[in-house]
Structure 1
Amino acid sequence: MLQRKYEEITDREKYVEELLFSIINNEGNSNNAVVFYGQSGIGKSSISKSLCTKITQHYSNRTIVILKEKKLNNCVTSNPINAILLQLRNDLLKDNSDLSCFDIAYLLYDALTNNSADMDLSTKVIRKSQILQMIEIVKKGLYQFPLLLEATKCLGNYQSQQKLEAEFDGSKIYASLNWFFIQQTEEICQWWQLKGRHNLRELKDCANLKDILELLPLFLARDLQLHFRKTRQKAVVVIEDYEYLNGCQENYSWLQNIIQLYPSILWVIFAEKMVEATSNILNIAIPNLTNAESQLIVQKFGVKNEEIAQQIIQASQGIPLYLHLGVETYENLTKQKAAQIENFASDTPEILPKLYAAWDWYERRIWQILSNCRSWDEVLFAKLMSQFDIASCDWICDCWRKLFHKVVKSPFVESNPEGWSLHPIVGEYLHRNQPDNLQQSVNNWLFEYYQAEYQKSELQLGALIKLLEYGLKSRQQQQIVNWFLAKVKLQQKAGKHDFTVFALKILLRYQNNASAFSLLGKSLYALGDYQQAVTALQTAQKLWEAQNLQNSLLFSKVQLQLAACYVKLQRINDASNAAKKALTIRTNQLNQNSVEIAEVLNLQALIAVIEGCYTEALELTQQALQIFESHQNAQIQLAQTKFTLGWLYAIAQKYDVAQKLFKQTLEDIACENHPLAIYCHGMLGNIYQNIGYFKYQQAYEEYSKSLEIAEINFGLTHPRTLQLIAAIINFSRIRGEYDTVDILIQRRHANMEIINFEENPAVADRLNKIGCLLLQQGKYAFSEHLLQQALQINCKYLSEQHPQTAETFHNLGLIYKNQKRYYTAEVYFKQALQIRSETFGEKHPITANSINSLAALYCCMEKYQQAEPLLKQALEICRKNFGEMHPHTATTLNNLAQMYQCLGFSKKAEPIFHQALDICQQVLGENHPYTKIVESNLGRLQEKN
Structure 2
Amino acid sequence: MSIGPRPYNIKYRVFVDRETCVQTFEEFIRSSDNKEYNALFYYGIAGIGKSKLQKKLQSVLSEEYPEILWVSADLRNPSYRNVSTFLVALRDEIEKKCNAKFYLFNMAHAIFWKKGHPDIPIPKKTYPLIKEDSFFNSVINVLNETKPGPLGLIPVKLIFDIINKAPDSIRRFYEEQAISIDELASMEAYEIEKRLPGIFADDFTSNLGMNSRACIFIDTYEALWEGLRGKGSFHEKDKWIRECLIPNMRGVSWVICGREKLLWAEECDEDWKNYITEFRVKDLPEKYSEEFLKDCGIEDKDIRSVIVKASEGVPYYLNLSVDTYEQACRSKKPEVKDFADTKKKVFDTFVKYLDKYEIRALNILSVPNSWDLNLFQRLMEKFNQNYSPDEFTELIKYSFIKEDTDDNFSLHQLMRKSLQEHQDPT
Same-fold status (TM-score > 0.5): yes
Q: Hey, what does 1:272 align to over in structure 2?
A: 259
Indicate the SS of the match to 1:313: helix
* Cα gap change, 1:188 to 1:52, in 2 (>3 Å): closer
Q: Hey, what does 2:289 align to over in structure 1?
A: 294
1:678-723 Cα shifts (integer Å, max 9, x gaps): xxxxxxxxxxxxxxxxxxxxxxxxxxxxxxxxxxxxxxxxxxxxxx
- The Cα of 1:319 is off from its aligned counterpart by 0.5
Distance 1:291 1:260 in 2: 41
Are positions 1:261 and 2:241 aligned together? no
For 2:13, the aligned partner's letter is E
- The Cα of 1:256 is off from its aligned counterpart by 2.0
* Cα gap change, 1:261 to 1:295, in 2 (>3 Å): same
1:80-133 Cα shifts (integer Å, max 9, x gaps): 333211121222245446561111111112223333223242577752553145
What are the residue-to-residue correspondences of 1:541-940 with 2, within 5 Å? Answer: none
- The Cα of 1:24 is off from its aligned counterpart by 0.6
8 Å Cα contact 1:65-1:236 kept in structure 2: yes
Indicate the SS of the match to 1:41: coil
Are positions 1:235 and 2:214 aligned together? yes
Higher relative contact order at CA 8 Å, sep ≥6: structure 1 or structure 2?
Answer: 2
Name whichever structure is richer in strand by fraction.
2
* Cα gap change, 1:182 to 1:47, in 2 (>3 Å): closer
Are positions 1:224 and 2:210 aligned together? no
Are positions 1:106 and 2:116 aligned together? no
Q: Hey, what does 2:87 align to over in structure 1?
A: 85
Q: Hey, what does 1:252 align to over in structure 2?
A: 238
8 Å Cα contact 2:41-2:256 kept in structure 1: yes
Distance 2:161 2:177 in 1: 12
Correspondent of 1:22 among 12, 24, 27: 27
1:726-776 Cα shifts (integer Å, max 9, x gaps): xxxxxxxxxxxxxxxxxxxxxxxxxxxxxxxxxxxxxxxxxxxxxxxxxxx
Are positions 1:282 and 2:277 aligned together? yes
TM-score (norm 2): 0.60
Distance 1:183 1:67 in 2: 36
1:315-349 Cα shifts (integer Å, max 9, x gaps): 2111112234456778859956875xxx59xxxxx
Indicate the SS of the match to 2:217: strand
What are the residue-to-residue correspondences of 1:115-514 with 2, within 5 Å? Answer: 115-118=120-123, 119-122=127-130, 127-128=135-136, 130-132=138-140, 134-135=142-143, 139=146, 173=154, 176=157, 179-180=160-161, 183-185=164-166, 187=168, 190-191=171-172, 194-196=175-177, 198=179, 203=184, 206=187, 208-229=188-209, 233-245=212-224, 247=226, 251-257=237-243, 258-277=245-264, 279=272, 280-297=275-292, 301-305=298-302, 310-325=305-320, 343=337, 352-353=340-341, 425=349
- The Cα of 1:67 is off from its aligned counterpart by 1.3
Distance 1:215 1:248 in 2: 25
Aligned residue pair count: 319
* Cα gap change, 1:117 to 1:5, in 2 (>3 Å): closer
TM-score (norm 1): 0.29
What are the residue-to-residue correspondences of 1:39-118 with 2, within 5 Å? Answer: 39-69=45-75, 72=77, 80-93=82-95, 95-96=98-99, 100-114=103-117, 115-118=120-123
Distance 2:37 2:311 in 1: 34
* Cα gap change, 1:56 to 1:193, in 2 (>3 Å): closer
Distance 1:46 1:15 in 2: 15
Name whichever structure is richer in helix by fraction.
1
Distance 1:267 1:313 in 2: 33
Q: Which runs of 5 or more residues in structure 1 are unaligned?
A: 145-166, 345-350, 357-370, 372-411, 413-422, 429-945
- The Cα of 1:268 is off from its aligned counterpart by 1.4
Q: Hey, what does 2:232 align to over in structure 1?
A: none
* Cα gap change, 1:200 to 1:338, in 2 (>3 Å): closer
* Cα gap change, 1:199 to 1:22, in 2 (>3 Å): farther
1:837-895 Cα shifts (integer Å, max 9, x gaps): xxxxxxxxxxxxxxxxxxxxxxxxxxxxxxxxxxxxxxxxxxxxxxxxxxxxxxxxxxx
8 Å Cα contact 2:70-2:215 kept in structure 1: yes
Higher Rg of the two aligned structures: 1
Indicate the SS of the match to 2:282: coil
8 Å Cα contact 1:33-1:281 kept in structure 2: yes
Q: Hey, what does 2:422 align to over in structure 1?
A: none
* Cα gap change, 1:237 to 1:246, in 2 (>3 Å): farther
Distance 1:273 1:286 in 2: 11
Aligned Cα root-mean-square deviation (Å): 4.4
Indicate the SS of the match to 2:29: helix
For 2:220, the aligned partner's letter is D
* Cα gap change, 1:188 to 1:143, in 2 (>3 Å): farther
Distance 1:292 1:99 in 2: 49
Query: Percent identity of the aligned residues?
Result: 21
- The Cα of 1:289 is off from its aligned counterpart by 0.8
8 Å Cα contact 2:42-2:257 kept in structure 1: yes
- The Cα of 1:52 is off from its aligned counterpart by 1.6
Q: Which runs of 5 or more residues in structure 2 are unaligned?
A: 229-235, 266-271, 353-426
